[in-house]
Amino acid sequence: MYDNYQKWKTTPVSNQPDVSIIVPAYNETERLIPTIGAIASEMSDLGLEWEMIIADDGSTDDTAAIAESLELVNLRVLRAPTNGGKGSAVRRGMAAARGQNILFADADNSTPIEEFAKLLAKINDEGYDVAIGSRGMSGGSEANKSPFRKLLSNGLRWMVQYVVGIQVHDSQCGFKLYTREAADKLILAQTIMGFSFDLEHLYLAQKYELKIAEVPVQWIDAPGSKVDTRKEVQRFMRDLMIIKLNDWRGNYELVI
């Protein structure tokens, strides 16, 4: 309802909101405003105290300025002087978040915010520490994704499960919810600041015996993606090795 949105727009939430939503953004002038609108409309009707953080990743366009111009009292914009990578943006957002639970959602709203309630139920009702949106499990779907990208994704998912040992069907869907305690532990240990940072989060969550729920979600390949598939696959493969090497060296033991 519009009244709920108006209240969220003008009335500051409590010192600890129920939910913080982190949206990492790099040069997203065209897609960010519709995403903010969709999130604000849905979340304002859920009866929760919530805040939104736009973690700008050193954009060279007007992404940060446009978000600030909305003058939404419960929206904060974190500016980075340079581009540090998606993982860096999410990490900064999570560190600044005040919520009891923290969601990160991609700036293109490719996983609709309407899927949020399913993730929250896993944490609030079933006691999970991390709830992740999944396109790869039964009940999930991927729309507008090319056959080549589907084949590539399936291959990478196989590697995640059987080479790295992360027991999820989809590590890279940009829609993940964390408890405050889980987020604090994972960002403290995080070393990967690029595209596949959430792969490291899941590896660490499994290592630290956090409870991970995988929730089937709908996903639409939104136009205007900034992802260079070939480069990101190369970085993903590199990061798989970095994660295993970090663990072998004992780097992750320091923060347990």
Helices marked H in 70-189: 86-96, 116-124, 147-159, 180-189
Q: pLDDT per residue over 104-131, tens digit each?
A: 999 999 999 999 999 999 999 999 999 9
Do residues 207 and 165 touch, judged by C-beta distance below 8 A? no
Do residues 79 and 18 touch, judged by C-beta distance below 8 A? no
Domain that holds residue 164: 2-255
In total, how many domains does the chain have? 1
Tally helices (H) and strands (E) across the chain. 9, 9
CATH of the domain at 33: 3.90.550.10
Do residues 225 and 146 touch, judged by C-beta distance below 8 A? no
CA distance 108 to 220: 9
CA distance 118 to 114: 9
In angstroms, the first-to-last Cα distance of the chain is 44
**Residue among 209, 214, 203 nearest 177 (CA):** 214
Record the pTM: 0.92
Q: pLDDT per residue over 163-186, tens digit each?
A: 778 889 888 899 999 999 999 999
Q: pLDDT per residue over 31-62, tens digit each?
A: 999 999 999 999 999 999 999 999 999 999 99
